[in-house]
A and B are shown apart, each in its own frame.
Chain A
Amino acid sequence: MNTNLQQHVWIAGLGAISSIGMNVDENLASLKNKQSGVGYPEFLKTMHTNDLPVCEIKKSNEELALLCGMKNGLPRTVYLSAIAAMEAVLDVRCQMSDVRNAESHSQLATLSPQLTEYRIGFISGNTIGGMDKSDFFYEEFLQDKSKGHLHDVVHHECGSLTELVAEHLGINDFVTTISTACSSSANAIIHASRLLKHHKLDIVVAGGADALCRFTLNGFNTLMILDSEPSKPFDENRKGLNLGEGAAYVVLVSDKVKEALGLRVYGKVAGYANANDAFHQTASSAEGNGNYKAMKEALNMSGLLANEIQYVNAHGTGTSNNDSSEGIALQRLFENAMPLISSTKANTGHTLGACGALEAVYSCLALKHNIVFPNLRHETTMKELSFTPNKELIEDIEVNHVMSNSFGFGGNCTSIIFSKAKEKK
């Protein structure tokens, strides 16, 4: 072994945008107040404006572009990604000395000389790239191969979106993109953690983004897993998921950076694992084998006992299959010491490539504020499960360790454990 893997991975900044808030504070307030972003789409152009509820961010692309200071005409996912990533960077920058001299908000959210002496990475997950624009392009292209505006298809690739945002942030030491369906941004956090542990980078902005688009809405509709009502994760009578949109990023830093800059941290990435269910392209095994393996290995890496986890922010999409498999896997892992469990997808909808990072941000908020979020709309315990998700906001609790799950197509299962930083003795 030539690598010192004892390196900690600290979480020094958070950024989030979703249908329940344009920033981290708004998201937190909505979660505490049991607010949900579900409703019929107003900005997404689709035939399904009256039959498929979604969790949409109620801003036009132009309004979003203005918020992040980027040009018009880019894929919506770019704007969401930029807004959340800028907030995460700003969250770290606010702790630094040169901030008072910064002239504008956008200047604040890019890198300062103090940061650029470090090797900085941007790792983002997304599932659809610039599909909202490719959709326009393809309609014209199909009729005439010389038609369709190339600027609508130039950012089709998932990686292109990451690059646009990295450039906007001024990050160029290492930039990459992961696409593993609904676990994409959780896996971005894993990859970022690995790069820090191997001393390849000192600071990584990691997370992901996905905007609503016709491609995914219709795709999930063909699978008949969309609920025509607000979703009910972990409920016996759940009918499916609501799609959502959003973006979230965490700023991960090494021991060296944390010390040198004297950063306050939300906690650390204590354990992580990705496993494959190897059962079906889109369905989970009944026993939740991949889910269990990911959670078990993340727990092993953290060195924690199962009963030390106070809260699990579950994947909990609200589909019959996911909630059953995940629930069974949770029972296999925690046995008689079930932690508090909730799915915040009842609030945000399923934000696909963004959900892992969005729920990582929520997990960090649970650590920081010592709270456990409620699982909305739960009425009836599932017959195959012995536990009921947590239904009310809990504030009189000490939260030290939170597990966050993200599972996706292709059998992709990810679990990450976030732990509070222990005070130095």
Chain B
Amino acid sequence: MGFYINGIGSVSAQRFDSRVKEINFEAPVSNRLSCIEPGYKELVPPMQLRRMSKVVRIGVASAKQALHDAGLETPDIITLGTAYGCLADTENFLGKLVTQNESMLTPTAFIQSTHNTVSGQIALLTNCYGHNFTYVHRGHSFEVSLQEAMMWLNEKSVNEIFSILTGGIDELTKDSFDIISRFGTYKKEDEHYDAVSEGTIAGEGANLFVVSNIKNERSYAECVDIHLCCSDDIKSELHSFLYLNAMEEKNIDTCFVGMNGDSRYDEIVLNTISSLSNAQLLGFKKYCGEYPTSNAFAFALACMVLKNGQIPKELYVGNVAVKEIKPKHVLIYNHYKNKYHSFILLKKI
């Protein structure tokens, strides 16, 4: 049984209002995309804002946006995904621990370095006393939290309106960028995203959603099912996922693909979905950068595309529209490091 997306809060490298059809996408100019932080005045009390590191700020802000968008003050429960957790606070405390040789340390950074700081802070600021989970499983952190949300909603009867705040959050810091760069993950500094070369571009963001078992006039779309896997045969995983959901490959009209500009992976990724004969392929990592929970950005775009009935042209893979479509069945296929694969099926309401 599917569920509905009733609110979106997105802090990313792009600036957009999820209720407005037109989006002005800005293409990256380097190998690193930082998110555009919103005005916090209306979202977070200033005294608390001062203590928050970026990941906590953007997490709390996108939570507030998503709740506002859904017309809610407090969700029933919270389930979030973050691969890295609170990097800046971790670096801060670890740096002082190392340089000051375990002396003269202060607690603030340590307190905020815990992986569930964001979900805890959201609970505090929204008076949410319900279940509060944080998944930290690399390229599947967001997907597991979404899958958990779906199980919760399936436990509820139609007479009970239940709303869950879910999503994915990760920050990029100077140090994490430098360290991840040394693993050969990113393109050269001056390389364009579209350059055919090894490596991707770094990103970060907080994309949160209010999902519910009950649809209303604010609902963007229905999420039919989620599947995550680490197997070697992704093509057959896709086939059985669609089969289980009584869908045929040819019925998918739009597919968001987790291509990331890395010449080592993009061909493989396209091959995986080659059976989707009628689907318009859309990319998204050019506009949010690559990071473990970037799929949550695609989830936001997919919801908007279904609600608005039109596709921003910047998203077309290869910048070409195959044909004019009104999206009805959207599949999101993401991969992270060609190891963490996931499929999310969404439907127009």
Contact = CB atoms under 8 A, between A and B. Distances in A.
Interface of A: 1-3, 5, 46-48, 127, 131, 134-135, 138-139, 141-142, 145-146, 150, 153-154, 157-160, 162-163, 172, 175-181, 187, 191, 194-195, 198, 200, 214-215, 218-219, 221-223, 273-282, 289-290, 293, 408-412
Given A135-B94, A219-B110, A293 B129 contact: yes
Interface string B68-109: 000000000010000111000001011101110111011100
Interface stretch (B35-43, B148-156, B256-264, B269-277): B148-156
A370 B74 CA distance: 43
Contacts of A181: 114-116
B179 interface: yes
Per CB-CB distance, the 5 closest pairs between chain A and chain B, nearest first, are A410-B120, A219-B110, A179-B115, A222-B107, A159-B138
B129 A178 contact: no
A3 B152 CA distance: 11
Contact of A138 (B98, B101, B138, B148): B98
Contacts of B121: 281, 410
A221 B105 contact: yes
B1 interface: yes
A276 B114 CA distance: 15
B97 A214 contact: yes
Contact of B102 (A46, A160, A411, A412): A46
Contact of A180 (B101, B134, B155, B179): B134
Contacts of A410: 114, 116-117, 119-121, 123, 132
Contact of A222 (B1, B110, B182): B110
Given A46-B102, A281-B121, A409-B120, A172 B135 contact: no
Given A139-B98, A177-B135, A410-B121, 14 more contacts: A47-B103, A135-B97, A138-B98, A142-B98, A179-B85, A180-B116, A180-B133, A215-B94, A218-B105, A223-B111, A277-B129, A279-B124, A410-B120, A412-B132
Given A172-B230, A177-B137, A218-B102, A278 B114 contact: no
B129 A138 contact: no
A178 B137 CA distance: 7
Given A162-B137, A410-B114, A410-B120, A191 B93 contact: no
Nearest to B87: A156
Contacts of B230: 172, 175
A315 B151 CA distance: 28
Contacts of A180: 115-116, 119, 132-134
Contacts of A172: 230-231
A215 B103 CA distance: 12
Contacts of A146: 182
B95 A278 contact: no
Contacts of A177: 135-138
